[in-house]
Structure 1
Amino acid sequence: MNKRNWIELSQDADTGIESIRAHFQGHAYDPHWHDSFLVGVTEQGVQQFNCRRVRHFSTPGKVFLLEPGEIHDGHAPTEEGFTYSMLYLDPHWLERELLALFEQAPSNGQPGFADTLSQDPRLATAVSQAFYALHAGELRMVRQNAIDALLASLTDHLEWRKRQALDPRLPLVAQVARDYLHAHAFEDIGLDDLARTCGVDRFRLSRAFKAAFGLAPHAYLIQLRLARARQLLARGESPAQVASALGFADQSHLGRWFRRAYQLTPADYRKRCSNLPD
């Protein structure tokens, strides 16, 4: 990592929400995705990232909103870099809280963000206050009040979508391949195996998959493993145990991919989330 870059990370014991404050200059991180909802605010500089096939520029006071699985990268286009604070919201936790707090939330729908960037000052304030309450470990009632204010502000930016097994906007081949990868994420899958499952050749599969999800199948598989690695490391499992369990060649192989996606080593992430020694 660039020596001028830094990351602060903590995890709230009650909700499991991760709070991250970071600063980057130049290249921040490669294309990747998370299995959480990401809600953050740019504090300083220009935060450039690609998401939903659009290049976005977030400046101070803007809120960025990413859904689970949305591929994004990060770059500082100006010399001073950018600083942001962000919350990782577990999808099951968020949906449960929304259904409990707001009667208008449909029971047969799933929440999503209407836009990737917002200039809503009320939302920006709510994100910042929730971030600092959680990151600083404020009193439980203070944290809960800040979270409720965040949820109330988010409702203006949520859209509820009908649950469906297949997305009509994406090629069926790509969706079948994605589901197979999720079901066999920790096995040594070959591209030809995946293509046979989908009934096409591997070149057609790769083109359809990248067009649908923005990553090649092997890169998507690695992201699946990294998402699971975060969960296991946060529970206190060692990087060596996690690498072995998830099909990485060894601990250093896990470490290379983990740093590229999150700019943290697995050991550092484990220590910050679980308060355990390396």
Structure 2
Amino acid sequence: MPPGMRTAAWRPRVEGIQEVLHARLLGHSYPMHTHDSWTLLLVDDGVVRYDLDRGSHGAPSNLVTVLPPHIPHNGTPATARGLRKRVLYLDTALLGEELIGRAADRPGIDDPGLRRRVHRLHTALTLPHEDLEAESRLALIVEHVRARLGRAPEARPGGGDVLAHRLRDLLHARVREGVTLGEAAALLHAHPTHLVRAFTREFGMPPHRYLVSARVDLARRLLLDGRPPHEVATAAGFYDQPHLTRHFKRVLGVSPGRYTAGRRSTSRTGR
């Protein structure tokens, strides 16, 4: 790898995301090339200059840059310090080919809320075993980008409250094994984005956070029953003990071990 260049790329277990790329570039320019996917670009440090569909553009750190599939583009750091970027490559079907022309005309989206959402999705994608959170965040990002490019997703009228409660019941029924957003949408016959919005509106948190909360609640009860943390982790639906500990501390402020350190035995010695 050339000096000053660092790259991390992986394919997450999230339907719709082909690849995630985090890169630090110094002294490297991309020649004209194309992708068969939609590209969502965040520049965290520096600025990139690029040509797209016979137009010249810049991608500073405040924008979310949406590059459409099949349209040639290049990329060059515009400052001597290079650039640091994060990229999502999304399946073409997520945004649809009908929006390619609009994205080619206006690839840069100046929207702090959207940028925060994409940043949080990247964070979720770096954490193990947070697929439902990533799927939920992706669904809302796709909806937001569609709206900014001129087409909102098809919304099903009414039924939001009932749908939210049905999803809550499903999450409780599947608290240990979990459920993907795609599976939930298919089981409940709902659009994934509509499902996330209805649930969040009804319960004040997105489905992935609700599921984690339910798992932490179950883990707490199992710990108080005297079961060891490594056993509780899998019994409550977490991948392993570190996965349990991270979420347990986030929700309750202490580790599982500290939580049960003062646990009193309920057994009584007979006289």
Q: Give the structure, 1 or 2, with the largest relative contact order (CA under 8 Å, sep 6 or more).
A: 1
State the TM-score, normalized to the length of structure 2: 0.50
Structure with higher Rg: it is 2
State the TM-score, normalized to the length of structure 1: 0.49
